[in-house]
Chains A and B, each alone.
Chain A
Amino acid sequence: MLNKTLLAWSLTCAIVSLALSGGRAFQVPASQQPEPRQPSEVSLIIGDRIGTPPRFAVPDFLALSDDPETIAAAQTMGEVLWNDLNFEREFYMIPRDTYASIPGATSITDVSFDLWRELGTDGVVIGTVRRVGELLEVQVRLWNIRGQESVFGREYTGSANSARLYAHTIADEIHQNQRGLKGIAQTKLAFVSDRNGESIVGPVANRILKEIYFSDYDGYNQQRVTVNRSLNITPAWSADRRAIAYTSYLRGYADLLVSFIYEGRLASPAAGSPDNQNWLPSWSPDGSRLAFTSNRDGNPELYVMNADGTDVQRLTDNPAIDTSPTWSPTGAQIAFTSDRSGRPQIYLVGVDGTGLRRITFESYCDRPTWSPAPFNEIAYSSKTGPVHDIKIFELSTREVRQITFGIGSNESPSYSPNGRHLAFTSNRSGEKQIYTIARDGRNLRRITRLGNNEMPNWSR
């Protein structure tokens, strides 16, 4: 009975994993339909105590080749995988130094079940890394310590110099397999930085330039996107994670630019000019449209257009400021900031221009960012005193909860693609830096350190 249910669940995992990975070409018999996860099956997921996170351990991966790079990669993979699994808080991650005394595995099936049980471990991830020519072969298994059985196994082969990416991939697959959770370990953060300290002569004083960068979700692998020695701000990832749209003053006025970062191509879909300036691009969830602010009709108003710049439609018509658009998860509505009441507040409107309504009644609100499904909430920055804090408006209950509390000024929230985390800017350290935080306000992490960094945007 146990094995049959386990078989069904494992197939479910495999199928769900396939669906989410964009059609990885495994062949799964059509007759074996995925079964929904039932409460009675929870015991088949590691950790059968409902409500209590299972206790997981991730020792260093076992290097099956004795060259220093493989040994280092094996250690990195263990560390990064532990961090990635810890980030979602679905498992209680046992601190790594507490199992230093447990002898390392000599193979992927060599698990000291008694020692791990003694440590109170429910699940342990055993990985091996072998160097084959210029490639790494990585095998990983998740062992259920109580049942002394492997509940998850994968093998990867690829580049020898991206140990972190192996770990991120494994973390996302374990979250999917064990918790039905779409992990974010492979996602990226785009942001604005002045770290180069470059400046240009301004009409009165020199001006510090800002360029677009991106990094892994945990702040590693920071990479520069723009090199145009100008002001580049408000980056926004395209839905396919291959392009970043942003506001650039490259040509002496504000316009939208789109950097296709793997092609070295640049587009300016809004076709700006001194009389047609454009700010704050926001991609529709399906990646086909861009919402943005423009002064083309003599006042900051909202517009929507196709990603290639065709089919421009005006969304607002009001003598006040309308700006900072964000799309609802279905793409049917847009939240934005307007000062038509006298101070900036958050409003909603259908993409057809109908159904306008105001949702905030505070002193000063801006930069709404609509959560991805399954959540239906809007994070924004709110002036709570001398500074701004991040708040979240829950659309179904109309309740507002606050997740930062006046430590520095906190602005520019951006949701992770699974909706469980936010990135934002805070100057709590003295400079502006990027932080991530869970949507319940816990798990604050600083992501950047070099120069000033702001306006994060979390990739899909």
Chain B
Amino acid sequence: MKSRLNWRILAGALFVSLLANTACGEKEVNVTPEPAPAPPTSPIPADPNTTAPPTAIADTTPRLPTPTPADSSLTGHDLNELNRSVPLAPIFFDYDSAEMTTEAQTSLANNAEVMRNNQAWIVTIEGHCDERGTAEYNLALSERRALAARDYLVALGIPVNRLRTVSYGEEFPFDPGNDEAAWAQNRRAHFVVTAQ
């Protein structure tokens, strides 16, 4: 890290005073800031709550907690090879819709059959949207798509405890293009085998 980070050593000396200007007279005050944090694995910005400006924050990055890795039983990363062969066909939706098209119903019937033939499979249904909606609303719309697909499979006799949903909005487009052909590919639900 840059040597400039020695501000932490000096944080205890911060103070502010009002200059003697024409009106306010001289007023000075010492402020004790919060104690300097212990050296982290990555630098911590100065506490912005210290009452004496300026606080020191330049050239620092937040303290980053150690993340827990994603549970591969939910993401299906351990089964990437199987999933890349697309054993369960994706289904596609109309714009701003979570209704099942005739083609989607056919695909879901086939997927239900495949799941019946692979009784150990647990499947995560991913909902996706095209980029034309707003990023925030698409999170909910893609959830509706995933839930609609799940409910349809349940109606076809697949136990609900073999199905999970996750909605990715427009965050993971299948086709990065910006035309109707790409959008049609992106308004979809994917079926990812997460356990077998």
Taking Cβ atoms with an 8 Å cutoff, the residues of A that contact B are 3, 6-7, 9-11, 14, 21-27, 134-135, 139, 141, 149-166, 168-169, 186, 200-205, 207-208, 210, 214, 221, 223-231, 233-234, 240-242, 247, 249-254, 259, 261-266, 274-275, 277, 279-280, 293, 295, 298-300, 321-324, 337, 339, 343-344, 364, 366-367, 381, 386, 388, 411-412, 425, 454-455
Q: Are A337 and B55 in contact (CB under 8 A)?
A: no
Q: Are B143 and A300 in contact (CB under 8 A)?
A: yes
Q: Which of A241, A274, A280 has the most CB of B within 10 A?
A: A274
Within 8 A of A (CB), among B22-36: 22-24, 27, 29, 31
Closest A residue by C-beta to B44: A262
Judged by DSSP, the binding face of B is loop
The 8 Å CB contact of B21, one of A141, A233, A339, is A141
Q: Are A160 and B7 in contact (CB under 8 A)?
A: yes
Closest B residue by C-beta to A298: B147
Q: B152 → chain A, closest Cβ, in Å?
A: 14
Known contacts: A141-B21, A277-B166. The answer to whether A250 contacts B67 by CB under 8 A is: yes
Closest A residue by C-beta to B70: A252
Q: Are B147 and A299 in contact (CB under 8 A)?
A: yes
User: Roughly how many angstroms separate A207 CA and B126 CA in the complex, as a whole number?
Assistant: 13
Q: Are B70 and A240 in contact (CB under 8 A)?
A: no
Closest 8 CB pairs of A and B: A252-B74, A10-B23, A159-B56, A153-B19, A264-B63, A153-B21, A228-B67, A159-B7
Closest B residue by C-beta to A293: B140
Q: Which of A25, A139, A227, A262 has the most CB of B within 10 A?
A: A262
The 8 Å CB contact of A203, one of B37, B136, B192, is B192
Enumerate chain B residues within 8 angstroms of A22, measured Cβ to Cβ.
51
Enumerate chain B residues within 8 angstroms of A10, measured Cβ to Cβ.
21-24
Q: Are B84 and A204 in contact (CB under 8 A)?
A: yes
Known contacts: A207-B172, A242-B49. The answer to whether A156 contacts B16 by CB under 8 A is: yes
Q: A7 → chain B, closest Cβ, in Å?
A: 5
Q: Are A300 and B135 in contact (CB under 8 A)?
A: no
Closest B residue by C-beta to A22: B51
Q: Are B22 and A149 in contact (CB under 8 A)?
A: yes
Taking Cβ atoms with an 8 Å cutoff, the residues of B that contact A are 2, 4-7, 9-11, 13-24, 27, 29, 31, 37, 40, 44-49, 51-65, 67-68, 70-77, 80, 83-84, 86, 96, 124, 126, 132-137, 139-141, 143-144, 147, 164-169, 171-172, 174, 190, 192
Q: Are A251 and B137 in contact (CB under 8 A)?
A: no
Enumerate chain B residues within 8 angstroms of A230, measured Cβ to Cβ.
67, 70
Closest A residue by C-beta to B45: A262
Q: B171 → chain A, closest Cβ, in Å?
A: 6
Q: Are A204 and B136 in contact (CB under 8 A)?
A: no
Q: A271 → chain B, closest Cβ, in Å?
A: 14
Q: A447 → chain B, closest Cβ, in Å?
A: 17
User: Roughly how many angstroms separate A454 CA and B174 CA in the complex, as a whole number?
Assistant: 20
The 8 Å CB contact of A295, one of B46, B63, B147, is B147
Q: Which of A134, A226, A253 has the most CB of B within 10 A?
A: A253
Enumerate chain B residues within 8 angstroms of A262, measured Cβ to Cβ.
37, 44-45, 47-48, 62-63
